[in-house]
Amino acid sequence: MDRTKVEELVVVASKSVSCGGGGGSSGHPNVYLKMGDKKKVVCPYCSRLFVLNMGDADEAGLGAEN
């Protein structure tokens, strides 16, 4: 079980996301994350949780390239 503390939940429309840690002096390098077969991914730098919106085009295979 992943015991990483989740700092923020972000609902997204794509299984590929990018995270920059919120910008400013508290930010981190911009990273690109892919969900793969899952419907969520956690940023390894800031623990922001990205969750796929189940009603979006990606789920139907009509969205952006994964």
Q: Could you give phi then psi for residue 26, rounded to 5 degrees? A: -90, 0
Listed by start position, the domains of the chain span 1-37
65 falls in which pLDDT band (50, 70, 90)? very low
CA 19, CA 65: separation in Å to the nearest integer? 18
Per-residue pLDDT of 30-53, as tens digits, reads 999 999 999 999 999 988 999 999
The answer, as to whether pTM is greater than 0.85, is: no
